Each structure stands twice: as structure tokens, then as C-alpha cells.
Structure 1
Amino acid sequence: MNPSLCTKISSLRYAASAVTLLLAGCVAGPDHVPPQTPLPAKFKEGGSKSNGDVVTAEWWTAYRDKQLDSLVAHGLSENLDVLEALESINSASANVTVAGAGSLPRLSVDASHTVSGEKGSERTTIGTTNTTGSEASLAWLLDFFGQYRRSKESAIASLGAAYATADNAKLTFLKDLVESYIDARYYQQRIALSRTNLKSRQQTYELTQLQLKAGAASRLDVVQAEGLVQSTKSDIPGLEQSFAESAHHIATLLGMPAASLMGELQKSAGQPVFRGDVRAGIPADLIRNRPDIRKAERELAAAVADIGAAEAQLYPSISLSGSISPSWVKSSGASGGTLTSWSFGLTLNLPIFDGGKLRANVDIEKSDARTQYLAWKAAVLNGVEEVENALSAVRRDTQTLEPLRRQVQTAQESLALSTTSYKDGASSLLDVLDAQRSVSDAQASLAATVQQVAKDYVDLYVAIGAGYLTRENAASKQTAKAG
């Protein structure tokens, strides 16, 4: 490069550094302060002990189902919604670079070479000229009032919101997957119960036919027994369809074609039962652990920074620019020569009258910030409500399990007694059929409650924001923050 060009660029660099130091503390707009809202010291049905950081708590392992553990591990890295949310982080990261680039000097270099000449009437060359030139241009908009610094702050906050969005996608995936798995096992249980009941009712139907031939039963008894058999048969296809839909949905959540897991899930397994502790923590834990609340807080931070960027446009701006253009010209028959031109100056832009546009932009950003604060507060209160509801559901639904188990036992005992009595001719078929219906209803109610209690624990641990990060991801995130 031309020595004079290097000298000029070096001078501009030192001048830029001096101005940067001079203006470092001059930034328009308010600084973001983490929002606060009054919260109770504990949940109504919870304890007063903090859970701390639960983002890596693998709460689904408390169901003690290895297949479920495998599905979760596979899905966290393959779920399409999660992958889509992770990809948005790359875009948000690039926006940070774009937002900060405006406050940095811009240097461009151009080079050219031109050959020109003239020809006479006899096609003889009168003369040719070779011109080689280059130009280095430097421009810098001085960020006096922090427009670009605030824009970069906003972009960094939006990047944090993108990370929180990805975390929320993982948490949503966990809830959807585990609950779909619980549903699939529930339908399997209902199918198994229906087939067992069908066998019992078929036996009753056959017994009634024998008694009809012996004159100990009426045609009405046979018809009623047959009707119960057909009713049970009609229930099974619907339950099988519901199981298939749950299995297909699980496959989709794992980023696989529907029905690809059908064979594996059809292997019989009992209904998932949560065997862990109820750990709700305290309301203050939610602000740290729930990704939707962190996302709302980061969006508020971005909105506050946007206020400063808008306010900075109300004030004057100064741009520095300079260029150096050395060129070398050589004509035929003459020695070449060098010509260097340069320029350096500044431009002042002073907004005087714009019809109120710039001030209105500030008002818009302030309104957006207030809206984001309300959204953050709503996210916090919604989180508290979800935990309260989950705690209440866990406690009350769990209390119904033992009475329902006892109800199944008594219904089965009643069926056995009524069947024996019917064989002995001491009671009617109607008593047997009623007992069979009671057994079926009690078993269905118990299976549905086991399903609901299992889901209640999902709701609780999702509500407190647990389990969406692996220990490796959490460690890398802490390293990134420290850096």
C-alpha cells in the first residue's frame, strides 16, 4: 500500500480511538433494570424451601420406565420444533453483529486499471495511455448518544430471548412426549381390561345359553348377556385407534414417520406411575427456572434498549470521512507519473423539524417497553397459577387412588358372589350383568385416575421449569455467560 495512504489511515484510527474514549459514557435512554413483582414466600400447598436450579432435573426418570427415558433422550436432539427454535439462535446471533457494525469505522479499497488510446484514419495508433488507480475510503458515524450501542444491547437481549425460546420449546416437547406416552399406556391398559372383561362376559353368555336349554333361564337373559358381550367388543376398536394415534404422535415428536414406533410401543407395559418427591420450590424460583419468564424478561430488556436507540436519533450526529486516491499514468512515448489526491472532513446532521416523527418513535418504544413489562408480569403470575393448580391436582387426584383400588376389589368380589349365586339359582342374571358392569366401570375409573395422576406430575415439573437442559448444555451455557 502507498506509504501516504498508511499514514492517513493511521491518523484516522488514532483520532477515532480518542473520540471513542471521550464519548464512551454518553448514551441516551434508560438502562434496563431486572423487573420485580410481589410474590408470596411459598405456594399455598407447597413448602418454604427453594428448589434452586432445576433446569437439569431429569424428573421423568421417576416413572422408572426405560423406554420413556430412551424416547426423551432421543427426542431432545431430534424434535423438529426444538431444532427450529435452536436455528433461530443463529439468526439472532448474526443480528448482534449487524447491530454493532453501525458504530464501527467502515473501510473500503477499490482498484482499477484502464488502457485508452486513439487511432488515425490509416488504422495507425496515435497513442495509448495506461492508467492504474486505487482508492481507500474510510467513513465513521460517531455514536455520540449511543444509538448503535443501544441497538446492540437490544440485539443481545433478543439473542437471550432466542435461547429462552429454544429452552421453552424443549420444555413443551417434554410435556407433550411424556403425556402422549402416558396416554398410550393408558389405552393399552384399557384394551387389556376390555379383553379380560370380554372373556368373562363371553363365559356368562355361554352359561346363560346352557341354562336356557335346561329351562333355567329365559330368552331375555340370553339376549341381555349377548348385548353386554357385543358392547364390550365395540369398545375395543376405539381404544385401539386412540392407542395408534398416541403412538403416531410420539413418532412425530421424535422427528420420525408416523407409525414407525408402533411395533416397539405395542410391547405390553404397565401404566407409568411417578415414584419421586413433590418438589415445587418457592414462587421466586420460577423467575430463574421458567424459560417463558426469562424470554419475557429478555424481550423487556430489548424494548428498553430500543428506547435509547430511538432517543439518540433526536440529537445531532457527526460523520467522519476520508479518502486517498493514488494513481499512476503512463502514455506511449512518455515516462509514467504518479498523482495522489486525498480528502478528509466531517458532516453534521441536525434534526430540526420532522413533523414529530422522531419523538413519536420514542413514544412507541416506551409503550412497547411497558407492554413487555406487563407481558413479563403476566408470565410470572401464570407460572405461579400453573404450579398452584398442579400441586392441588397432585394431592387431590392421588387421594382418590386408594378408594378406587378398593372399589375395584369390592366390585370383583361382588361379581364372584353374584356369579356363584346365579349358578346355584339363588339370584338372577341381571345381578351378574350389573356386577360385571360395575367391575368394568371401576377398572376404567382407576385406569383413568392413574393416567391423570401421572400427568399431574408432568404438569407440576413442567410448571416449575425443570429438565429442559442436559448437564452438558447447562455447563456450556454457564461457560458462555462467564466468557
Structure 2
Amino acid sequence: MNRLALAVLPALAPLLFACTTVGPDYKVPEHAAVRAPEANGPLLGTQDAAVSVAPVPDDWWRLYDDPKLNRLVQEALTANTSLRVAAANLRRAVAVYHEVEAENLPQAAFSAKAERAQVAGESFLIKEKIPVFSLGDFGFSVSYLVDFFGKLARADEAALASAEASQAALDMARVGVVAQTVRAYVQGCAATHELEVAEHQLALQERGAEIAGKLVAAGRGQPADLLRARSQAETLRAALPRFKAEKEGAAYRLAVMLGKPPAALAEDAFACEEEPRLRQALPVGDGAALLKRRPDVRQAERELAAATARIGVATADLYPSIRLGASAGLSGLMGDLGTGPTARWGIGPLVTWNLPTNGVRPRIHAMEAGADAALAQFDGVVLKALQETQGALSEYTRELERNQSLRVARDDAREAAHQHRQLYRAGRTPYLSSLDADRTLAASEAALAASDSQVALDQINLFLALGGGWQNSPQVARRDGAGHADGHD
């Protein structure tokens, strides 16, 4: 052993025995928005009788007790193109994780080379031309990177967190697909309902116009009354194409959610007469359950974990890289391969240490800034989740109040129209009074039908904000078989 080796070994010895993992250990900061008591308490507005603090069920769409809807959702979860994209992204992230994980294993390589070559004589300080030879080189090597400073551990940690973030993105895609599928189905049901209401009101108005025509023919009515009745009938008829277009558009959207061309969806696959209704108070849970359930919150938390781990990966570049290796092989003339003079072998450590003048420290600062940005993004996602849920909850409960008032108004208008129609037929009131009552009823029926549709859509928006519907998707399997802890536990 030469003097240089003897001088270097004492300096490296402490490093060989000081195995550590550099960089910050990940945990959600105490000042993160997800830890705020207000974020984990009861949601505002849960005192309304229309909602409950019961846990949100995994398959929330089954609360409608609609077998056709259940079948459509399951078909969408199987065939939707957005889910196929998210699933492919997850497979790619898991493959990257396993690639990084493989760096912890010994690396082996085999090489074989045979060539007819002429070597330059001057490279051996020989002035004569060296004859052409048949040369061969066969060898096998194995090496193992000793992770003294945790670079591989941090890289593994970052890759796993990124894979789990992709899993959360897939879960978020499932939530969106379920909500959009249910929304398209409900919009088709609502359009059918509103179309039936409009057709019923049109039939009533046409009967009124027929009566007005008979009264005019008998000399008991005014021609102006007949014209008004016909005008009202045509006004009601003009609303029918809009509802038909909404029904057809909902069918087309539903077909795409199922991964089919619009023409491939049979009409009986989605036909329904009215919006599906909940038979119980809508369960919303509390803030703590919401933040654990929302996939976008989990995705942001995992991205923060990955960004934190990358600080350790960059920090490890400040320290030496130590690789243990061994190699053996044969090198020389093809005719002599296998003889003693052609055998070669070697064993020992390889230590490389790049001085921190190559941009390592700026790279560490960049990773730290990336972690700060990931924390800000995490806080923003948490606040947005709470805002979306509170807003959807408020819209739902207020629309229910409006719906109840419209229902009372519709019932009163129906009774008033019935009484005016009887009085007009008996000749006790002018036709204009009956026509005005019918107009009021038509407007009340249309407003109530539109409100019924909005209530159903508000329910879906609230379920979407609550973030349920992904729990049955497969999860990323860790090497140690354990899942990561929730970021705010």
C-alpha cells in the first residue's frame, strides 16, 4: 500500500462508520393549513335537516337506489378513457419507483469482446509496426453502492411518494368520472321530467283553446280570447325543443363517459322519467374526514413528501460516493485466452467525491424552494377543498328551501287554475281570468321542475366536493407492505 493510500484511509474511516441519512425527515409542518382546528371541525350548515354528519359512503351513488344508475357507473369505471390515462400514468410512476428501488441491489454486468486489430507501436514507445492480432476480452463484474449518506433511501422515498401521488390522481379521476356519469344521467332524467311538464301544460292550454273556439262559435265568447289561448299554446310549444336538445345532449355525454360513441348508446340504457331522489338526509361527515377522503388533498400531501425527500437526494451529493466491487475476466490474444497470463481480477472499494463547486449547493436550495412551493400548493388545495364543500353544501340547502316554496306555490296555482276553469265553463268569469290562471300554473310547474333538476345537480356537486367514490381502487404496494400515514395525522 502506497503512502497516498495510507494518508487517505484515516480520513475516510470515520465516513465508513458514520452511516446516516442526510436531508430533512418528512412530516407535515405544524403551521400547514391541514392542521388548523377550524379545518378539522364540523362543516358549517350541517344543522340543516337535509344533511347529516354521518360518514360519506364509499359508493355514494347507491344512496339513490337506482339499479340502472349503478350499472352505468360501474361501466364508466371500467371503460372511461380518462381513467385509462390516469391508470397508465400510475403504472409508469410505479415502474419508476421500482427502478429507483433496484438501485439498492448489487449491480452485475457481463462483457465479451473479440476483434482483429492492430495496436499502435508508439503507444508502447516502440518505433516498429506491431503485427495484426486477434484479441479477446471476456469479463464479469459486480458492484454495490453503499448508501452511507442515504441518497438511495431519499430517492426511494421520493419515488414512492410520487407513485402515491399518481395513485391519488387516479382516485381523483375516479371521483370525477363517477360524478360526471351521475350528472349526465340526472340531466337526462331532468330534461325528460321538464319535457313532460311542458307537454302536460301544453295539453291543458290546447284544451282551453278548444273550449274558447267552441264558445266563439256558439256566440258566447270573444275572438280575442281564442287568439290569446292559441298564443299561449304556441309559447308553451316553443319550449319543447330546448328540453329535447338537453335530453339528447345528456345522452351523448353519458355515452362518452362510458367510452362509447354517442350512436352506440341504446336509449333504454339511460331512459328515466324523473330525477333520482335521496331517501335520507345527505351524509357529509366533518372537516377532518373530508381532508382525509379528498384525493386531491392526498395528492398534494404526497407531492410535498416527494419534494422534501429530493432535498436529501441533493444534499447527499455533498458527500463521497462509495461503491464496493469485484471483477474477473480474461484479456489477451484469442489463442492464449484461458491461460494464466490472460487472467485478471480485482476487488475493492471505489470512492468518488465531487467537491461542492459544481452547483450542488444551488441545487439543494432549488429543492428547498420546490418543497416550499409544494407546501403552499398543499395549503391551497386544502383551503379549496373546504371552500368547495362549504359552497356546495350552502347551495344545496338553499335550493331545497327554494324548492319547498315553489312546491307550495305550484299547489296553490293548480288549485286556482282548476277553480277558474270551472267558473269559466259555467259562464261565471271571463276567459281571460282562466287563461291568466293557466299561465300562472304553467310558470309554477316549470319553475318547480327546474328547481327539482337543480336540487339533484346540487346533490351531485356536493358529493363531488366531498370526494367519495375512489375507495375501491387498487392502491400502491410498498416494498415493506405498509401504506403511508395520512399526512395530517
TM class, shorter-chain normalised? 0.7 to 0.9
Confirm or deny that 1:302 pairs with 2:306.
yes
* Aligned with residue 293 of structure 1, among 294, 297, 302: 297
Aligned to 2:98: 97
Classify 1:318/1:361 alpha carbon distance in 2 versus 1 (closer, same or farther; 3 Å). Answer: same
Secondary structure of the residue that 1:313 maps to in structure 2? helix
Question: Counterpart in 1 of 2:426?
Answer: 424
Which residue number in structure 2 is paired with residue 445 of structure 1? 447
Question: Does the aligned pair in 2 maintain the 1:99–1:151 contact within 8 Å?
Answer: yes
**2:382 corresponds to 1:396:** no
Aligned position for 1:342: 345
Whether contact under 8 Å (1:244, 1:262) holds in the other structure is no
SS of alignment partner, residue 212 of structure 2: helix
1:251 equivalent to 2:249? Answer: no
Could you say which residue in structure 2 is the equivalent of 1:16?
A: none
Distance (whole Å) between structure 2 residues aligned to residue 327 and residue 171 of structure 1: 62
What is the CA–CA distance in structure 1 between the aligned matches of 2:254 and 2:106, rounded to whole Å? 52
Q: Residues 475 and 108 of structure 1: is their aligned pair in 2 closer, same or farther, counting only changes over 3 Å? A: closer
Look up the SS of the partner of 2:482 in the other structure. helix
Contact 1:37 1:377 in 2 (8 A): no
Tell me which moved more, 442-451 or 153-162: 442-451
2: CA distance, partners of 1:106 / 1:474: 29
Match of 1:86 in 2: 87
> What aligned pairs does 1:83-482 form with structure 2 within 5 A after superposition?
83-113=84-114, 133-265=137-269, 267-327=271-331, 331=335, 337-338=339-340, 339-344=342-347, 346-354=350-358, 357-470=359-472, 473=474, 481=482
Residues 237-291 of structure 1: CA deviation (Å, up to 9, x unaligned) = 1110111000110111011111433511564422211112332222111232111
Structure-1 separation of matches of 2:427 and 2:328 = 116
2:31 is the alignment partner of 1:33: no
**8 A contact 1:201–1:228 mirrored in 2:** yes
Deviations 1:96-139 (A, max 9, x none): 1222344544221112456899xxxxxxxxx9987664112334
Task: Indicate the residue corresponding to 2:42 in structure 1.
Answer: 42
Q: AA paired with 1:285?
A: A
3-state SS, counterpart of residue 140 of structure 2: strand
Q: CA deviation at 1:414?
A: 1.4
User: 1:397: Cα distance to partner?
Assistant: 2.4
CA distance 1:51–1:426, change in 2 (3 Å): closer
Q: Give the secondary structure class of the aligned counterpart of 1:440.
A: helix
Residue aligned with 2:283, SS:
coil
Aligned sequence identity (%): 27
| Equivalent residues of 2:206, 2:233 under 8 A apart | yes
Q: Which runs of 5+ in 2 are unaligned?
A: 1-12, 119-130, 485-489
Query: Could you tell me which residue of structure 2 aligns to residue 4 of structure 1?
Result: none
- Please, which moves more after superposition, 416-425 or 337-346? 337-346
How large is the RMSD of aligned CA atoms in angstroms?
A: 3.2
Q: TM-score when scaled to structure 1?
A: 0.83
Distance between the aligned counterparts of 1:376 and 1:217, measured in 2? 72
**Given the superposition, is the C-alpha separation of residues 100 and 57 from structure 1 closer, same or farther in structure 2, using an over 3 Å criterion?**
closer
Q: Distance in 2 between matches of 1:83 and 1:337?
A: 58
Contact 2:189 2:271 in 1 (8 A): no
Tell me: CA distance 1:343–1:378, structure 2 relative to 1, closer, same or farther (3 Å). same
Judged with a 3 Å threshold, the aligned counterparts in structure 2 of structure 1 residues 34 and 59 are, in CA distance, closer, same or farther, namely same
- Residues 365/454 of structure 1: CA separation in 2 closer, same or farther (3 Å cut): same
Tell me how far 1:31 sits from its aligned partner: 0.8
Give, in whole Å, the separation in 2 of the partners of 1:474 and 1:186.
36
Q: Is the 8 A contact 1:168 1:291 kept in 2?
A: yes
Q: CA deviation digits over 1:198-234, x for unaligned, max 9?
A: 1111111122222222233333222221111111121
1:335–1:307 distance in 2 versus 1, CA, 3 Å: closer
What are the ranges of 5 or more consecutive residues in structure 1 without an aligned counterpart?
Answer: 1-18, 118-126
- 2:127 aligned partner: none
CA distance in 2, matches of 1:428, 1:192: 29
Alignment match, 1:3: none
Contact 1:247–1:262 (CA under 8 A) maintained in structure 2: no
Answer yes or no: is the 8 Å Cα contact 2:193–2:274 preserved in 1. Answer: yes
Residues 248, 262 of structure 1: 8 Å contact kept: no
CA apart distance, 1:156: 0.2
Alpha-carbon distance between aligned partners in 2 of 1:330 and 1:453, rounded to the nearest angstrom: 85
In 2 relative to 1, CA 29–277 (structure 1 residues): closer, same or farther, beyond 3 Å?
Answer: same
Residues 128 and 305 of structure 1, relative CA distance in 2, 3 Å threshold: closer
Assess, with a 3 A threshold, how the Cα gap between structure 1 residues 321 and 371 changes in structure 2: closer, same or farther: same
Kindly tell me the number of residue pairs found equivalent between the two proteins. 447
Cα deviation, residue 450, structure 1: 1.7
For the residue of structure 2 that corresponds to 1:271, the secondary structure is coil
Between the aligned partners of 1:244 and 1:480, the Cα distance in structure 2 is: 48
TM-score by length of 2: 0.82
Secondary structure at the aligned position of 1:110 is classed as strand
Q: CA deviation at 1:365?
A: 1.2
> Is the alpha carbon distance of 1:418 and 1:89 closer, same or farther for their aligned partners in structure 2, counting shifts above 3 Å?
same
Q: Secondary structure at the match of 1:384?
A: helix
Distance change (3 Å), C-alpha of 1:467 and 1:330: closer
Secondary structure of 1:481's counterpart equals coil
Return the letter of the residue paired with 1:33.
K
